[in-house]
Amino acid sequence: SAVISQKPSRDICQRGTSLTIQCQVDSQVTMMFWYRQQPGQSLTLIATANQGSEATYESGFVIDKFPISRPNLTFSTLTVSNMSPEDSSIYLCSVRGQFRSYEQYFGPGTRLTVT
Partner 1 sequence: GENVEQHPSTLSVQEGDSAVIKCTYSDSASNYFPWYKQELGKRPQLIIDIRSNVGEKKDQRIAVTLNKTAKHFSLHITETQPEDSAVYFCAASLSGSARQLTFGSGTQLTVLP
With 0-12 / 13-18 / 19 or more C-beta atoms within 10 angstroms meaning exposed / middle / buried, residue 50 is middle
| Torsion from C-alpha of 50, 74, 14, 42, nearest 10 degrees | 70
- Binding partner 1 (rule: CB under 8 A), the pick from 22, 48, 81, 88 is 48
Total binding residues toward partner 1, as defined by CB under 8 A: 20
Smallest gap from Cβ 45 to partner 1, in A, equals 6
- Binding partner 1 (rule: CB under 8 A), the pick from 57, 67, 79, 108 is 108
Which residues fall within 8 angstroms of residue 100, CB to CB, at 6 or more apart?
none
Which range touches partner 1 (CB under 8 A), out of 18-26, 43-51, 65-73, 76-84? Answer: 43-51
- Binding partner 1 (rule: CB under 8 A), the pick from 19, 21, 33, 77 is 33
